[in-house]
Amino acid sequence: MRETEKLLADILFRIDAVRGDRGSGYKGLAQRYHQLTKPFMTGRTREVHEDEFVKNQKNLRKRIQDYIDEGGGDPPPRVLEWANKEVPKLPVQVPDDSPEVPNDNQMVTGLETLILYMLQNLRVPL
């Protein structure tokens, strides 16, 4: 295997690696990004994950430069996307005083009301 092929394989691993439950392996950028979009990811835990995400991006950019310097040319577009992707923002939390979502019975009642209204107000000869 040529050096550029090894570098590209390493680059893709740095993006796509997935650590399983209770695992001790490497978490790729995609897995870390996905975790940072979760509402439970707050406080110190979020800070650590953000720091790891940024550190992993820095290492990825170094590997991309190594790939280019070895004559690999431009890396695939998705590689550059992950190298420069912004840390996801914390998801917006819905306040507790927000309006309630209608339950199934309320939705059915609303649907029945709409159907009755349409039947009574449509002027279509039968």
Residue 1, CA distances (Å) to 6, 7, 59 in order: 7, 10, 22
* Entry pTM: 0.68
Domain ranges of the chain: 3-99
List, as one string, the DSSP characters of 22-66.
Answer: T--SPPPHHHHHHHHTSTT--HHHHHHHHHHHHHHHHHHHHHHHH
Mind listing the pLDDT tens digit for each residue in 36-72? 998 888 889 999 999 999 999 999 999 999 999 999 9
Instruction: Calculate mean pLDDT across residues 81-94.
Output: 83
Confidence (pLDDT) at 57: 96
Residue scoring higher pLDDT (117 or 25): 25
Task: In whole angstroms, give the CA distance from residue 5 to residue 70.
Answer: 10
Q: How many CB atoms lie within 10 A of CB 74?
A: 10
pLDDT at 105: 47
Q: What is residue 89's predicted lDDT score, i.e. its pLDDT?
A: 86
Query: Which one has a higher pLDDT value, 8 or 100?
Result: 8
What is the C-alpha separation between 61 and 47, in angstroms, rounded?
A: 21
Tell me the pLDDT tens digit for each residue of 23-32. 677 889 999 9
Q: Among 22-31, 74-83, 116-125, which range has the highest average pLDDT?
A: 74-83
